[in-house]
Amino acid sequence: MYAQPNNIGNGEAGSFQELFRKTMRRCANTVAIVAAGGGHGRVGFTATSYCCLSTTPPSIVICIGRATSAKSYFDVGSNFSINVLHSAQHALAEVFAGRNGSHGEDRFRCGHWSQGMGSVPVLSEAMFSLECEVVHLHDCRSDSIAVADVHGINLGSHVAPLIYHDAEFKLLSPHPIKMRPRAAQPTKS
C-alpha cells in the first residue's frame, strides 16, 4: 500500500496520521523510564523515543510530549535520567505509561529508586541508566526535542532488554542470527 496525505480516504485505514502511527509501531524499540525532579516532586514516563546522538561528547536525543505533565521538568540546564528496562520489567513500564491510573510521585512506589546527580531519580535495577543534562530544547509540533549531555552511566546486569513493537511489550529472541564471515579484502601489491 502506498499513501500520501491527499490520497487516503476514510476507508479502513482511517487518516494519514493514523496510518503513519501504525507504520511507526512496526519499529522495534527498547523501553525506558525517563525520570526527572527532586525535592519539589518527581515525574516519570515510559519512553521509546530516544537515541544516541554522539559519543564525543556523550549525548542523546529524546522527544517529550509537549502536552504531558512531565514537560515542565525539561528545560535547558535541567537534569533527568533514562532508565532502560530489561525483559522482566514490563509491569514497571505499564505503571509509568499510566495504565494503572497512577501519576507523578505515586509511580515511584514501584521499583527501587536512588538519587543521581541533581537529585534525579535513577532506577537501581535498570539494565542501564543514563544521567543527563539538557543542553538544547526545541519545540517541534506535538513534542519537544531535547539534546542532552550524558554525565553519568549506571551499568546494570547484561540481560535482554524489554522491547516495544506493534503496540506490545515483547522479548528479544535469545538466538542470535548467524552472520557470514567477512570476505577477505584483497591485498594491494
- Judge whether residue 7 has pLDDT over 60: yes
- Judge whether residue 12 has pLDDT over 80: no
pLDDT band of residue 185 (cuts 50, 70, 90) is confident
Place of cell 499513501: 3
Helix residue ranges per DSSP H, the chain: 16-24, 90-96
pLDDT band of residue 173 (cuts 50, 70, 90) is confident
Confidence (pLDDT) at 3? 72
- Judge whether residue 59 has pLDDT over 60: yes
Per-domain boundaries in the chain: 16-171
β-pairing, 113-115 with 50-55? unpaired
Kindly report, residue by residue over 67-122, the tens digit of the pLDDT.
888 899 999 999 999 999 999 999 999 999 999 998 989 999 999 999 998 889 99
Sign of torsion, CA 104 106 111 115? Answer: positive
Confidence (pLDDT) at 2? 75
Report the run of H or E that residue 132 belongs to, with start and end.
strand 128-140
Confidence (pLDDT) at 69? 84
Architecture of the domain whose range is 16-171: Roll (2.30)
